[in-house]
A and B are shown apart, each in its own frame.
Chain A
Amino acid sequence: MTDGSEAPRFQPGDAVRVRKAYPVGHCRTPFYFRGVQGVIERYCGAFANPEELAYGRSGEPAVPLYRVRAKQADVWSDYQGSPRDTIEVEVFEHWLEPCPDRSPAEETSR
């Protein structure tokens, strides 16, 4: 693992949206999470890009990786469960865009 050449773009608590894109090839951003609005739970470090590794390429420079938290009710229109339920997914930086029109992010509780 090598550190990304730039500082991570997002901080814990930032409101973000997962891009709604459907590129050809391997990626690990789940379909169910694309287009979802959430908050950055933490920055995990920079890691080799799996979309490149899958084809035998180096995956460098390493890409910043985050854990993004969202309310389950915001992910599934028919979610059966408590309104408190959440889901946290590891998402690479190039899949995230800021969400400035969202209300201030709730405090990330541990």
Chain B
Amino acid sequence: MAILEGFVFLTVCMGLIFAARQFLLIWRVGLGSDFCDHSQGPRFSTDPAQWPTVAVLVPAHNEERVLAGCLSAMTALDYPAAKLSILVINDRSTDRTAEIADEFAARDARVRVIHRGAARRPGKSAAIVDGMEFSAAEILVLFDADYLPRPRLLEDLVAPFADASVGATMGRVVPCNSDANLLTRLLDLERRAAYAVDQQARALWSLMPQFGGTVGGIRRAALDGVGGWREGHLTEDTDLTLRLALGGWRVAYLNEARCYEEVPEDWASRFRQVRRWAYGHNECLLSYWGGILRSRLGARQKLDAALILLFYLFPACVLLSTLAIIPILAFGSDEGLLGGAWHWIAPLLPLAVLAPYTQVMIAALMDRQTHVVRTLPLLFVSSSLSLLASTAAVGLLVWNRIRGRSLGWDKTRRYRTA
């Protein structure tokens, strides 16, 4: 029983730290956004000839439903034509993806298609590695095949690279199918909090805004300097974020550089998506925990990195603690660790529980769409999904590590057509 109580106590403490962090981030954002206004920082010359070369990479595996719309948007991007190339990486597709991509390549000289053979290693990160070999551009910008960037987005994503310390930029992904059903509305709320509050505040405080692997740019020199893009990693974005931070590079987050994406419309797709993220994230935890602690990062950055690494382990701890607390409360007494700590924990728990909801309210307020808060009380529905998926991922990771295997790539289902 003492072991169970200790585990629950640690989980509660972790929860209080995460909640305190969320409130601190809310407070920082509430102080004002004098930051992501890059008009105050270094600027590229107004002469387009001075702008960096950019390669837009679009990995595509069986994306016939959405690829045409995506490439139409890519070819309409407002960037000096001579400085822009669009690389579609057909990742062993078995539908019309290759045909659609080739049609666009025939129409637009900036578009180039790379067809990966069946023998190549599957997965988005492997596809990106192959695509990078075909480009010598100074800046690489990644988009998923279902994304619809507005014409000015590329300029917005590239502009911060005028600052030599910036290794990557990250825009804001906005669900375009939020109105589809309850799940998409809840995921929209989660996205708002994650971008409008979490990412923004971390950028304001020079912490570690996360590079998300899409709607983001990478400086080729920075990427090469930290070991390049790694194949076989389920969350190559988290992996790269940590390597860039350890390499002394900054990730610039741009809340106004927005791009539409699709979120899962059914629980099974969402479950697989979160399980993939949690699996990869926890692999990063195992790989980088020691490196982060031993690094020369500042204390705030180390703490932020630690919390990022624990982000997808915490839900598993919450679920296991929920199960553990039942026998503790049922068969235990007030003499244990939890009984003793109850008096100082209890008043903090309500605020800790409300922290994520508060973050969503603030995000909705900043987006000037407070009507979305009507669905907020039901956030526990999507949180339960994430809880189960994260726990499944932890279990799967432990099991696979014992057996010496890895989790395969799982493609997220698309809903939009063209």
Chains A and B come from one and the same complex: no
User: A interface vs B, CB < 8 Å?
Assistant: none
Could you list which residues of chain B lie within 8 angstroms of chain A, going by C-beta atoms? Answer: none
